[in-house]
Amino acid sequence: MKIAFVYDTIYPFVKGGVEKRVWELAVRLTRDGHDVHLFGMKFWDGDPVLIRDGVTVHGVCPAQSLYANGRRTFRQAWTFSSHLIRPLLRERFDIIDCQQFPYFSCFSAKIVSVMKKTPLVITWHEVWGDYWYTYLGRLGFFGKHIERLVLHATGNVVAVSPTTSNQLKNGGYRGGVTIIPNGIDPRRIHATVPSRETSDLIFVGRFIREKHVDLLVRAFSKLLSEQPNRSLLIIGDGPEREAINALIHDLLLKDRVRIIGFRDDHDEIIAHMKSAKIAVLPSTREGFGITALEALACGIPVITIDHPANAIRDLITGKNGFFCSLSADDLARIIKISLNDAGGMREACIASAEDYDWDRIATQLEQYYHSVIEAARIS
């Protein structure tokens, strides 16, 4: 098969769950003999087309800033989408897999799909629905309307989690939804040597509003009032980094909290996870949560927020993690409980992550593509 993946940002130039999914699947499908192309913004110097690990990567336009005032920008999404059509039209693909965000690119992919008579798959990572009003105020009407248009752009729909699948159905989609989750590389994680630097708690992710890094910092401050020798490692970056640094300074936590940015070598992040006791991921919006899955594979339990839009909940049972409310007091309380129980949860954590092997998921996606192509041929 000749396969096109469409997403505006590309791993490892931008590190996030969607970028990681697209890249890991592209590499494995390439190894299985498929001709895989990835279309995104150009984050590198030189030729707009390059080949990495056998994957052909297309930079359709110069990279632009993703965020302004903590929100994804309309201009960036529109620029990428408007530059996408021509490069996609230059090739003839057997299938196009477009990630649902940032929405406008789905319409560009749809145009090419119709013109080239190529089946279009849209992979959904989360559905915002009424959250658009929280995100944009009254302008949220437009975001919600555009999302609903994308919802009906194709009958070939993939969701990365049961939570996202339910959100699609609740949002009005009446067609079939195939769940093909994100994954990890269990063998590589198991082989990674733990870091010499230990920590009691670890957070890995973007510093954006929905991940509530500030809540974690406030809860950790409360924990220190009773357990002053505890430590917190925060790995990541994002538009709220300055605010998080200021909060750590104001709460006098510099000696107990360390922040480091994303690492070029992902194994370094895994090594830090393996040297921590608990992963705290207080998100209220997650389409899946690869970081949570990696933490479980490292043998450490996960604390997350019990929120209906948080798909990390799909991964957590009473044996491998904990839920709490969106409250610094409750989070601090659950952290204390988890620190007492973490040692006995290691085997259950590892076992719960074993089924999410990227190799297995790539095979599942390959079979799904074949079924979509066959259905299009028959029709």
User: Domain count of the chain?
Assistant: 2
Do residue 139 and residue 45 come from a single domain? yes
Neighbours of 282 (CB within 10 A): 26
Nearest by Cα to 270 from 379, 205, 192: 192
Q: For residues 80 and 139, state if they share a domain.
A: yes
pLDDT tens track for 265-295: 899 999 999 999 999 999 999 999 999 999 9
- How confident is the model at residue 263, as a pLDDT? 87
Based on the domain organization, do 364 and 332 belong to the same domain? no
Residues 248 and 150 in one domain: no
What is the β-pairing status of strands 55-62 and 67-68?
A: unpaired
- Report the alpha-carbon distance of residue 36 to residue 75 in Å, rounded: 28
Residues 150 and 242 in one domain: no
Summary mean pLDDT of the chain: 95
What's the CA gap between 169 and 160, in Å, rounded?
14
pLDDT at position 10 is 96
Domain at 245, CATH number: 3.40.50.2000
Residue 140 reports pLDDT greater than 90: no
346 and 314 part of one domain: yes
* Confidence at 358, pLDDT banded by 50, 70, 90: very high
For residues 13 and 118, state if they share a domain: yes
- pLDDT of 19 over the 70 cut: yes
* pTM of the entire predicted model: 0.88
Cα 230 to Cα 70: distance, rounded to the nearest angstrom: 30
Task: Please tell me whether residues 254 and 240 are part of one structural domain.
Answer: yes
Each residue of 156-173: pLDDT tens digit?
999 999 999 999 999 889
Q: What is the pLDDT of residue 70?
A: 66
| Other beta carbons within 10 Å of 127 | 25
Q: Which domain holds residue 272?
A: 186-353
**Nearest by Cα to 320 from 279, 300, 349, 277:** 349
For 283, the token pair is 């998100």
Q: 225 with 141, same domain?
A: no
pLDDT at 244 over 80: yes
**Lowest mean per-residue pLDDT among 62-66, 75-79, 246-250, 325-329:** 62-66
- The CA-CA-CA angle for residues 251, 256, 262, to 5°, reads 100
In the chain the first and final C-alpha atoms are separated, in Å, by 19
